[in-house]
Amino acid sequence: MDIEILRSICLSLPAVTETVKWGNDLCFCIGEKMFCVSSLEPPHTFSFKVTDAEFDELAGSEGFMPAPYLARAKWVLVTDPSKLSRRDLTNYLQQSYDLVKAKIPKKQLKDLGIE
């Protein structure tokens, strides 16, 4: 998976910003809350939030693992992007966005112009 494909999917969602954190990670945020993080250096790995029900299944699948530092919040690390189709990637990123967005206060969502 090309990092530009990941960027295009994430940046197509409403009110998303991208920043570089920790010197080498590209973070996609909504209201300053991360919903996807990607390494900037090849091989590109990336992490996103999943539902509680999906976490155990995905984290134990080939090409995935619990995301370091974020596994307790139900984030998975994609170690082999070829294991995801573009459609599945788009669905997981949309879901991660929605899960994070659901935790943002209504007033802040209104200020972001998305609720």
CA distance between the termini of the chain: 32
Position 44 confidence tier, pLDDT thresholds 50, 70, 90: confident
CB 44 within 8 A of CB 31: no
Domains and CATH numbers, the chain: 3-112 (3.90.1150.30)
Please classify residue 83 by burial: count the beta carbons closer than 10 Å to its beta carbon, then call 0-12 exposed, 13-18 middle and 19+ buried.
middle
**Mean pLDDT to the nearest integer, 41-55:** 94
pLDDT at 43: 85
**Taking 90 as the threshold, does the pLDDT of residue 79 lie above it?**
yes
**Taking 70 as the threshold, does the pLDDT of residue 58 lie above it?**
yes
| Rounded distance between C-alpha atoms, residue 86 and residue 21, angstroms | 25
**Taking 80 as the threshold, does the pLDDT of residue 76 lie above it?**
yes
CB 45 within 8 A of CB 78: yes
Give the global pTM: 0.93
Q: Cα-flanking dihedrals φ and ψ of residue 61, to 5°?
A: -85, 155
